[in-house]
Amino acid sequence: MADLALTILQPLIERLSSKIWRQLGLLCGLKGDLDNLKRTLEDINVVLYSAEQRAKTADRVRRWLWELKDVAYDVDDVLDDVQVEVLRRSSSSSNRPITAEVHDFFSSKNQIGFRFKIAKKIKEINARLNDIEEKKNRFNFPVSSYSEVSVTMEVTSSRERETFSHISEKEEFYGRDDDKKEVMTFLLEKDNDKQLSVLPIVGLGGVGKTTVAKMVFNDERIERQFEPLIWVCVLENFKLSKVIKKIIHNVKQKTYPRSEHENMQRELVKIIGGKRFLLVLDDVWDDGDLSRADQDLGWEALKSLLSCGGSGSKVIVTTRDHEVARITGTLNSHELKSLEFEDCWNLFCEGAFEKKSPSASWKEAIGKQIVQKCGGLPLAAKSLGALMGSKQVENDWVAIRDSEIWKIKEEDGVHILPELRLSYLHLPFHLKQCFVYCSLFPKDYVFVMEELIELWITEGFISSAGDAGSQMHPKDIGSRYFRILLRQSFFQETGLIRWGEYGEEIVEYTMHDLVHDLACFIAGPEFAFQGKLKREEPEKWRYLSIDLGGHLPELEGGEKINKISKARKLRSLISVSPKSEACYVEILSGLPYLRVLHLQKLKDKELITALQNTIPRLKHLRLLDLSNSLIGTLPEAITNLHNLQVLNLSYCGALRKLPRDMSKLTNLRILGIDEVRIYAMPSCLGRLSKLEKLPMFIIGREPGRTIAELQQLNMLRGDLTILGLAKVKDAEEAKMANLIAKTSLRRLGLGWEYDLSNSNVSESDSDEERGKSGNIIDRMNSLVRSCGRARFARIKEEEEAAPSRTDENTIKNHVLDSLQPPLYLEELSMESYDGTRFPSWMMRIELLSRYENLTRLCLGDIKRCKFLPPLGKLPRLKSLMIWGMPCLKQIGSEFYGDGRGGGVIFPSLVTLNISGCPNLTDWKEWLEPDLDRNGSRIAPSLHTVKISDCPNLTALPEWLELVPDMGTSGATYYRRRNAV
């Protein structure tokens, strides 16, 4: 398939039409060549949709499209060459307009060589395009009316249904009740006296083997009978060591380090020995290792190890291969049949109509004819149902029913479901590009939507100008794209949710292996991944994913490296292996146009040092991901990567400082420094006006590092923790942070103390330490502790006239008054504040109640405040943590809101935690005359209360309905009765 040329040409035409490139053509004497280039691209562009349609059945047209894509990539590379040089020259004089820099660049005698080099490349490209246009004329493509507007309309049609989500859990299980019952009988009633029993579930791809396994795996009866429950996706290559490692990881929830095979076996025996466990081995294939005679590495070896479990331990194996079932099973296989027509029809209806019956009779008639073609496969029915849901015209339904796709046979031995091909062909072009990009990742890869969207943006698949002329943020557009693909079953939820650094839910997604097969089948020669490294030409590669530490029978390591080194036009290099290999340096040195470099978990310090010298030479780089690596420093030369948009250094525990001149990276959008404990921020970060992610900002006193650097960073999204607020000199300086204008912030932490020089911070952090920070509040606590909880206030620098204590308090109070957060904030943490009162935006009910989205609040180490804000008036506050308030003596009516405004007090509060208030003696009742003594007017949703280290608090208000938890020593815990 080669139908992605439209998505490449359209941005090029827009780029050449821009004012800067028209001016550039005049200044460098290339106006004629650039105009010819643009005109030729426009002439070709108007026939691309027709060409794409013909390419489905005509190899010559397919090859022509590949040639066009190749030259389009080269055009983009040449334009990038010029842009990078202009950015490099303009970085030294940032106050000058870019047009002046362009003029200087092309008029300088030192640039004559570069100028002629660019001119030569453009002339060569024009010659290639002329040849392509001649071929186009011979094909006699009709000019297509299929425009970008129609593409956008198709997306809009899909968007209107996004809120209905993808197929629900109940709907996915149509027609599988009998299958579930039979498998449950095996698990609960059969062979309970045997040490180990294995039931294979066999069936076609897409028939629902994994679904049935999940149905039983998540049944409450199973959870009561087995411990532990282990799920391992084996995939195509059965490797005993990998399977053992996955089992260990599944049980212990942490990655097992590289170790000797014997050590891993001992660890496996240790964690399951004597326990009645359930193990699901999903998607098992026999590539030779499963059935090998060597008893130490095949299935018999794994079975022998698993036999150490308790009596009644069970294993379920899902597979398409009857031979795998024969090798593994101790019982006869459970063969999963195709769904009955009625069940398939119900699945189709859920996607097509969102109800059980269609609104038009012709839809039912044609729909049933389409379902007949699904062969009883639920994946096919779901996919086609989602596709037809966006089609409202009868002719569209007829066209899909009668499509030639149904007649296509297997190609190159690859079986691609025609239902999935149809769903793909009816995607808009830009969604096709996003989907095919996923072929770079291996089967069973766990996708996180936000991470994938960031790659799409960096690759240029999502326009920063927005969608259909709107001003939507690219991430919001990407989210829509992803959810359309999710709804049409190109992605599916794993059912697992993990927690991010700030307490946010991170939903994990995968691709069904048949969908992944489709993406790999469609991917043109510009996409290279494990299975294609041998048969494709590296000169055509533009996107590459590699696993240098993995097992590749088709290529030996040296041959693989040599082949990759020839891919000089490569744009993206994504490592899907955590293993570090010295050959990365050799490979990178020959990739001048690399835009995306994704190398995580680098542990080899010699390799890291070599990479530090290599990476700064990748002048086109836009995304650099070195997260979870043992990096101690970054080279200053990295600030010459003027195109860099994403720099991810998160969880690089040994990193203590960032390059000094990072303000030169004017295109930087993402600076990932989560859990990175640096000493100070680089100077003048306020110049990075495009910055969207900055998890932490450390305030300094010197110019360029004050809080004023945040003034222009109003595009910040997500979370921000500001540390060292004690260094803000006055309210005017605090106002310059302009926090209230940062409307896309959702989590904000304010910390007054930060000094790593006196803290006991280790040079590297383990994964376990990293996982302790579940949200921004916990993260603030962690940072405060790591920097020394024992008040790391230093002796202040001598000043000419030290202010009086009263003046100092006034300044601190006014500083916090000037740090009013944006109104859409969801989480707020304040730590180590030593002013005498809370700010007006917290104390005045009419201001505080405007924070309607605030759900979590932490007030910690508040040294001198005597009264709490009217927090009872926060309408959506769910979690409240108050700790370390030595001056708090009484909780009175001010805490509830003084009875003003009526309504319920703490209407949404679920968790309340108060600790470390040694002088708190009195907690007043709420004395409103019409108080409902059953507590319905105060905190009706309150579930858990924890009060500790408040030794002088002798009485609590009745509305808390508390009882002491006598089982806990060292603190006083309470739990609300009759919790909702």
pLDDT tens digit string along 856-876?
Answer: 999 999 999 999 999 999 999
Which residues are CB-contacts of 15 (< 8 A; sequence separation ≥ 6)?
21, 79
Residue in this structure with the two tokens 């391992």, named with its chain if needed: 232
Residue in this structure with the two tokens 């109940």, named with its chain if needed: 170
- Rounded percentage of the chain residues whose pLDDT exceeds 90: 28
Instruction: Look at residues 894, 895, 857, 858 and name the one whose alpha carbon lies nearest to residue 876.
Output: 857
**Can you spell out the DSSP letters for 421-459?**
HHHHHTS-HHHHHHHHHGGGSPTT--EEHHHHHHHHHHH
Q: pLDDT at position 773, please? A: 39
Residue 800 scores a pLDDT above 50: no
Q: pLDDT at position 442, please? A: 86
Helix (H) or strand (E) segment spanning residue 305: helix 299-306
Q: What angle do CA 846, 849, 854 make, to 5 degrees?
A: 155
Q: How confident is the model at residue 837 (pLDDT cuts 50, 70, 90)?
A: very high
Instruction: Look at residues 643, 592, 648 and name the one whose alpha carbon lies nearest to residue 621.
Output: 643
Which residues are CB-contacts of 293 (< 8 A; sequence separation ≥ 6)?
none
Residue 789 scores a pLDDT above 50: no
SS3 at position 647:
strand
Pick the range with the lowest mean pLDDT from 2-16, 751-765, 862-876. Answer: 751-765
Residue 551 scores a pLDDT above 70: no
Q: pLDDT at position 685, please? A: 94
Helix (H) or strand (E) segment spanning residue 80: helix 59-90
Q: pLDDT at position 578, please? A: 58
More confident residue, 535 or 520: 520
- Phi, psi for 316 (deg, rounded to 5): -110, 130
How many Cβ atoms sit within 10 Å of the Cβ of residue 145? Answer: 10
How far separated are the first and last CA of the chain, in Å rounded? Answer: 56
Q: How confident is the model at residue 26 (pLDDT cuts 50, 70, 90)?
A: low
Q: pLDDT at position 802, please? A: 44
Residue 95 scores a pLDDT above 60: no
Pick the range with the lowest mean pLDDT from 286-300, 505-519, 635-649, 741-755. Answer: 286-300
What totals of helices (H) and strands (E) does the chain contain, helices first?
Answer: 35, 27
- Rounded Cα distance between 361 and 506, Å, is 42
Residue 731 scores a pLDDT above 80: yes
Contact between residue 862 and residue 881 where contact means Cβ atoms under 8 Å apart: no
Top mean-pLDDT range of 161-165, 456-460, 573-577, 601-605: 456-460
SS3 at position 974:
strand
More confident residue, 813 or 423: 813
Pairing of strands 973-976, 962-964: antiparallel
For the packed helices 59-90 and 48-55, what is the interaxial angle rounded to 10 degrees? 130
Alpha helices in 773-918 (DSSP H): 776-786, 805-817, 840-843, 845-848, 893-896
Residue 274 scores a pLDDT above 50: yes
Q: pLDDT at position 373, please? A: 81
The structure's pTM equals: 0.78
More confident residue, 259 or 890: 890
Q: 535 burial class (0-12, 13-18, 19+ CB within 10 angstroms)? A: exposed
Q: What mean pLDDT comes out for the span 36-43?
A: 85
Residue 407 scores a pLDDT above 80: no
Contact between residue 308 and residue 269 where contact means Cβ atoms under 8 Å apart: yes
Mean pLDDT, the chain, integer:
79
Pick the range with the lowest mean pLDDT from 192-206, 751-765, 896-910. Answer: 751-765
- Rounded Cα distance between 531 and 533, Å, is 6
Q: How confident is the model at residue 92 (pLDDT cuts 50, 70, 90)?
A: low
Q: How confident is the model at residue 843 (pLDDT cuts 50, 70, 90)?
A: very high
More confident residue, 710 or 791: 710
Q: pLDDT at position 799, please? A: 39
Residue 531 — left, alpha, or beta (φ > 0 → left; ψ -120 to 50 → alpha)?
Answer: alpha
Contact between residue 952 and residue 921 where contact means Cβ atoms under 8 Å apart: yes
More confident residue, 716 or 549: 716
Q: How confident is the model at residue 817 (pLDDT cuts 50, 70, 90)?
A: very high
Q: Which two tokens stand for residue 698?
A: 């450390």
Q: How confident is the model at residue 980 (pLDDT cuts 50, 70, 90)?
A: very low
- Rounded Cα distance between 286 and 299, Å, is 10
Q: How confident is the model at residue 435 (pLDDT cuts 50, 70, 90)?
A: very high
Residue 935 scores a pLDDT above 50: no
Pick the range with the lowest mean pLDDT from 614-623, 687-696, 959-968. Answer: 959-968
More confident residue, 902 or 733: 733
How many Cβ atoms sit within 10 Å of the Cβ of residue 359? Answer: 9
Residue 294 scores a pLDDT above 60: no
Q: pLDDT at position 759, please? A: 41
- Rounded Cα distance between 362 and 711, Å, is 60
Q: What mean pLDDT comes out for the span 104-115?
A: 57
| Three-state secondary structure of 681-741 | CCCCHHHCCCCCECCEEECCCCCCCCHHHHCCCCCCCEEEEEECHHHCCCHHHHHCCCHHH
Contact between residue 352 and residue 487 where contact means Cβ atoms under 8 Å apart: no
Pick the range with the lowest mean pLDDT from 339-348, 352-361, 690-699, 871-880. Answer: 352-361
Which residues are CB-contacts of 408 (< 8 A; sequence separation ≥ 6)?
418, 421
pLDDT in tens, 324-337: 888 888 988 898 88
Q: pLDDT at position 579, please? A: 58
Residue 472 scores a pLDDT above 50: yes
